[in-house]
Amino acid sequence: MITELESRIRDLQNGLADVQKEIAALLIQPCRGDSEIMAKDVKYDELDRRATIIKKTICDLTRKRQLLISQSTSRESCDSHASDESS
């Protein structure tokens, strides 16, 4: 489960990098008129929204991964402590 989350997080990070590259490319494109500026703004807003969603998803999955790790660590600690007492 943890490796699946790590894989998903990596995929999302790669996707975020792609979106950020698109944003950077969009920002350096010249505009010749109001219609091009408006179209660029719409595209920028869409990319920014996608980036925000990806960042939130990465954050949520990272929290979930950390929770799973802490639960497995505490379980291992309890299991080893119980086996020490039974000896």
- Token readout for 54 is 């990806």
What pLDDT score was predicted for residue 84? 58
Q: Tally Cβ neighbours within 10 Å of residue 22.
A: 16
Domain borders along the chain are 1-10+33-75
In this predicted structure, what is the pLDDT of residue 43?
Answer: 97
Q: Are 47 and 19 in contact (CB under 8 A)?
A: yes
CB under 8 A, 24+ apart: contacts of 6-9: 6/65, 8/61, 9/58, 9/61, 9/62, 9/65
Question: pLDDT tens, position by position, for the chain (87 residues)?
Answer: 889 999 999 999 999 999 999 999 999 999 999 999 999 999 999 999 999 999 999 999 999 999 999 988 777 766 665 555 555
